[in-house]
Amino acid sequence: MSGGGSPGDIGRSGLRQALTARRFAVTAEIGPPRGADAGPIRRKVALLRGWVDAVNITDNQNATVRLSSWAGSIAALAAGVEPIMQVTCRDRNRIALQSDLLSASAMGIPNVLLMTGDHPRFGDHVEAKPVFDLDSVQLLRAARTMRDERKLMSGRKLDPAPSWLLGAVENPTVPADASITRLAAKIEAGAEFVQTQFVFDAGEFAAWLARVADLGLLEQCHVLAGVGPISSLRALSHLQGGVPGVRIPAAVDRRLRGVPEDQVAAEGAQLAAETIELLMTVPGLSGVHVMAIGHEGAIPAILQQAGLTASELPRTGGAADGLAHAR
């Protein structure tokens, strides 16, 4: 897969092809290792080949130092799975951000997910100076201008222009009005697909997505619902108290605490599969984003339990057909 082309080259993204074909897309998330070795990424990617349309490579998630997202993305490409390179605004100014985006396209990385990022105080270098020269909406707008208008933020011309599918994130469990307003701003800025925070209540999520659809936003952008297995009671407690925006329904809490501790991981995987099955019936939803960092090997079994098989994902009836670039 070659990069450094024109906006027309974005069709090289297999994820874009899955979304515009109205096929229920599946993406997953991989956290790069804390060490100078890309081998762990290649091994995790190998587990997911054929099961997912693309894998997110996180950008120093939780504000902790890891192998960079661009290096991980190149490793994923070499292992035969399409990457989605995450880029956060936390650690770079607009010069470095634009440079990294250009480099991603030049190296054949077809998808980027642009985020504001966690503050360093939540990570392993609390004394680090945060940058936040731009936020996610501003970076989306800058990236779209680079691709579609062939211009940097300075106004200088690009030759050739980069090409990527532009992604963002959103949290449907915060007050709905605020999250939908923020989602609309990201779509207006250039987001073509959006991955959400964990969804544990499919009915609540369906109501949120219906409001998004009523505003016509699904005609401009594809939404993938975040799902994932809860592998232990410790992980459950962490999600309940340590991850902003995650809401665990009481029924889920009772279910996971109602089984022997050595069965929590299996029950959590079954719950994730059931959630995916429910989400597959939600009108307008374009797919799911499976987050099981540290337990990527469990993802194929979860997808299979949900009725999805390798390289044979069903079509969704809700997303708009033939979605054009969000300009």
pLDDT of residue 12: 64
Please tell me the distance from the alpha carbon of residue 77 to that of residue 110, in angstroms, as a whole number.
10
Of the candidate ranges 30-34, 108-112, 253-257, the one whose mean pLDDT is the lowest:
30-34
pLDDT of residue 1: 28
Q: H or E segment at 30?
A: strand 25-30
pLDDT in tens, 50-67: 999 999 999 988 888 999
Residue indicated by tokens 């990617």: 45
pLDDT of residue 310: 77
Which residues make Cβ contacts (< 8 Å) with residue 281, sequence separation at least 6?
A: none
pLDDT of residue 94: 98
pLDDT in tens, 12-38: 678 999 999 999 999 999 999 999 999
Please tell me the distance from the alpha carbon of residue 198 to that of residue 84, in angstroms, as a whole number.
18
pLDDT of residue 314: 44
pLDDT in tens, 263-311: 999 999 999 999 999 999 999 999 999 999 889 999 999 999 999 987 6
Q: Which of 265, 257, 277, 180 is nearest to 223 (CA)?
A: 180
Residue 322 has pLDDT above 60, yes or no: no
Residue with the bigger pLDDT between 98 and 2: it is 98
In which band, very low, low, confident or very high, does the pLDDT at 124 lie, cut at 50, 70 and 90? confident
- Percentage of the chain exceeding pLDDT 70: 91
Domains of the chain: 7-229+282-299 (3.20.20.220)
Measured between alpha carbons, how far apart are the two ends of the chain, in Å?
A: 24
Please tell me the distance from the alpha carbon of residue 12 to that of residue 31, in angstroms, as a whole number.
24
What Å distances lie between residue 80 and 1, 41, 181, CA to CA? 10, 12, 37
pLDDT of residue 325: 29
* DSSP type of residue 309: B
pLDDT of residue 311: 67
Token pair recorded at residue 239: 């999600």
Residue with the bigger pLDDT between 272 and 313: it is 272
pLDDT of residue 121: 85
Please tell me the distance from the alpha carbon of residue 180 to that of residue 212, in angstroms, as a whole number.
7
In which band, very low, low, confident or very high, does the pLDDT at 4 lie, cut at 50, 70 and 90? very low
pLDDT in tens, 64-87: 899 999 999 999 999 999 999 999
Please tell me the distance from the alpha carbon of residue 192 to that of residue 203, in angstroms, as a whole number.
24
In which band, very low, low, confident or very high, does the pLDDT at 122 lie, cut at 50, 70 and 90? confident
pLDDT of residue 7: 39
Please tell me the distance from the alpha carbon of residue 55 to that of residue 80, in angstroms, as a whole number.
11
pLDDT in tens, 171-229: 998 888 999 999 999 999 999 999 999 999 999 999 999 999 999 999 999 999 999 99
Token pair recorded at residue 37: 């070795």
pLDDT in tens, 128-167: 999 999 999 999 999 999 999 999 999 999 999 999 999 9
